[in-house]
Amino acid sequence: MSLQDFLSTLDGLEEEASAAFETACDADTLEAARVRFLGQKSGALRDVQKRMGSIDKADRKTAGMRLNQFKSNVQEALENAKTRLGGDDSTGADPTFDPSLPGRRPSIGHIHPVTQTMTHLMEIMGRMGFEAAEGPEVEDPWHNFVALNIPEDHPARDPLDNFYLATAATGTNDRNVEGSQLLRSQTSTVQIRVMEDKQPPIRVISLGRVYRPDAPDATHFPMFHQMEGLLVDKNVTMANLKTVLRVFATNYLGDDVEIRFRPSFFPFTEPSVEVDFFWNGSWVEFGGAGMVDPAVFEAVGYDPEVYSGFAFGLGVERLCMRRHGITDIRDLYSGDLRFLQQF
Ligand code: PHE
């Protein structure tokens, strides 16, 4: 092919393509024109490019420059056409584009009601000077039982009431082997971890997950959350405990809450109580509490003659459910957004 022929072919093609782009009345027509002239597989440009090889070596440079110019001109015409069609409805833009439609709202995450509750509880306790403390969910028997004065033969250590883990180290979930581990069954483990770490005065709360192999029903779930509180100092009394819990309850549920202690037993507190709140016409048990047992102080190396303290453990789901009128704990963990988005 001679250079002359090549150049005039390009001239003609450029005119044709620009005209086709300029007169395209909608996105589909424009796209069809683009494929016809610039398409990778069988477009006109491709055919011309193929013929470059047959041009005299001496003329190839001129041919190449013209080809580049062609490409950029045609590309520009195409871009102009796109802008024209996209920008102005009246010239026949894509009929499926309706600028009057409301935008699509991106779906953004939502904080789970139990997490919201924990943030709220932490805030209330923070105002009373309690700092947040944390402990692991996979625990050893020392922190979950032994240091909490729960002896070897205590029913709370039964495999039917705990998730003992088979680990690489033990190779078994037998609770009696050295190095056995379990999912913590209570946040009281964090009391031990805090006291092993620091000296009094101590004023902490710990919010987190605990695990017990209960069959799920309206009030039980194998994983739930507790708020543990621990205060250790000189001359701490049960009256301090009751005041802290009353202030907490009135802040969380409202001024009309009443609080009631019922005698109970926990190996790590003496005396021990069950904590009930009266609100909206009924008494509900929210957890346990008591004065830290001297045996626990001894386990962490505190002198029980010098220090005293109280501890409490409340059910987070119960607080959340009571405040929001939720009647089935399973709803909280169903993953059903229609339920969760209400909070
Ligand atoms: N750990 C106890 C439970 O899970 C609650 C508790 C905490 C009781 C602290 C007394 C003191 O039932």
Domain boundaries, the chain: 3-91, 114-340
Q: How far apart are CA 276 and CA 216, in angstroms?
A: 23
Partnered with residue 291 across adjacent β-strands are 310
Using the mean position of ligand 1's atoms as its centre, give its distance from the Cα of residue 86 in Å.
66
Looking at ligand 1, which residue's alpha carbon is closest to its atom 12?
Answer: 288
From 150, 186, 205, 262, mutation site for ligand 1 pocket: most ligand atoms within 8 A of C-beta: 186
**Domain 114-340: assigned CATH number:** 3.30.930.10
| pLDDT in single tens digits along all 343 residues of the chain | 888 988 999 999 999 999 999 999 888 899 999 999 988 888 888 888 888 888 888 898 999 899 999 999 999 999 999 888 875 545 556 778 888 889 888 888 889 999 999 999 999 999 999 999 999 999 999 999 999 999 988 999 999 999 999 988 888 888 888 889 999 999 999 999 999 999 999 999 999 999 999 999 999 999 999 999 999 999 999 999 999 999 999 999 999 999 999 999 999 999 999 999 998 899 999 999 999 999 999 999 999 999 999 999 999 999 999 999 999 999 999 999 999 999 9
Q: Specify the pLDDT at position 91.
A: 55
Q: How far apart are CA 275 and CA 270, in angstroms?
A: 14
Using the mean position of ligand 1's atoms as its centre, give its distance from the Cα of residue 292 in Å.
11
Q: Specify the pLDDT at position 54.
A: 87
287 lines ligand 1 (CB under 6 A): yes
Looking at ligand 1, which residue's alpha carbon is closest to its atom 7?
Answer: 313
Residues 276 and 262: beta-carbon distance below 8 Å: yes
Residue 141: is the preceding peptide bond cis (ω within 30°)? Answer: no
Residues 308 and 236: beta-carbon distance below 8 Å: yes
Using the mean position of ligand 1's atoms as its centre, give its distance from the Cα of residue 280 in Å.
25
DSSP codes of every residue in 156-180? GG-GGGSEEE--TTTSS--TTSTT-
Alpha-carbon distances of 318 from 61, 241, 338, rounded to whole Å: 82, 20, 21
Could you say which DSSP state residue 257 is in? Answer: -
Residue with tokens 């962490």: 300
Q: How far apart are CA 296 and CA 341, in angstroms?
A: 43
Residues 249 and 227: beta-carbon distance below 8 Å: no
- With b for 16 or more beta-carbon neighbours within 10 A and e for fewer, the 165-198 pattern comes to eeeeebeebebeeeebbbbbbbbbbbbbbbbeee
Closest CA relative to residue 169, chosen from 128, 140, 146, 192: 140
Using the mean position of ligand 1's atoms as its centre, give its distance from the Cα of residue 138 in Å.
18
181 lines ligand 1 (CB under 6 A): no
Using the mean position of ligand 1's atoms as its centre, give its distance from the Cα of residue 329 in Å.
20
Residue with tokens 């209330």: 124
